[in-house]
Amino acid sequence: MKKVIGIESYGVSVEQANHNAEVNDIENVEFIKGLTEEILPTLEILYPDIVILDPPRKGCQPEVLETLANFKPEKIVYISCHPATLARDLKLLCEQGGYKLAWVQPADFFPQTPHVETAIILDRQE
Q: What residues act catalytically? A: 81
Collapse the DSSP code of 120 into the 3-class scheme (helix H, G, I; strand E, B; otherwise coil) and give the result: strand
Q: Residue 78: in which H helix or E strand, if any? A: strand 75-80
CA dist., res. 104 & res. 20, Å (int): 30
DSSP assignments along 47-71, one per residue: --SEEEE---TT---HHHHHHHHHH
Look at strands 99-107 and 75-80 and give their pairing: unpaired
